[in-house]
Amino acid sequence: PPPTGASPGSGALSPFDRRLKRKQKNWAALQAEPAKCDYLREEVGAERAWRDTSGAGTFPLALDVGSGRGYIAQHLTKETVEKLVQVDIAENALKNATESEIPTVRVVADEEFLPFKEDTFDLVVSSLSLHWVNDLPKAFKEIHQVLKADGVFIGAMFGGDTLYELRCSLQLAELEREGGFSPHVSPFTAVADLGHLLSRAGFNTLTVDTDEIQVNYPGLFEVMEDLQGKYILCMGESNCSWNRKPLLHRETMLAAAAIYQEMYGNSDGSVPATFQIYYMIGWKYHESQAKPAQRGSATVSFGDLAKIEGLLKKGKK
| Dihedral sign for Cα atoms in the order 92, 93, 99, 100 | negative
Q: Are 16 and 134 in contact (CB under 8 A)?
A: yes
Residue range 228-246: average pLDDT?
45
For the entire predicted model, the pTM comes to: 0.77
Which stretches of 96-163 are DSSP H helices? Answer: 136-146
**Please, which residues bridge with residue 217 across strands?**
271
Of 90, 121, 129, 123, residue with least CA distance to 108: 90
Q: What does the pLDDT look like over 243-272, one tens digit per residue?
A: 445 566 788 889 999 999 999 999 999 999
Q: What does the pLDDT look like over 285-315, one tens digit per residue?
A: 877 776 666 666 666 666 665 666 666 666 6
Dist. CA 210–CA 276, nearest whole Å: 7
Of 126, 43, 42, 120, residue with least CA distance to 83: 120
**CATH topology (fold) of 18-163+187-218+273-286:** Rossmann fold (3.40.50)
Interacting residues of 35 by C-beta distance below 8 A, sequence separation 6+: 42
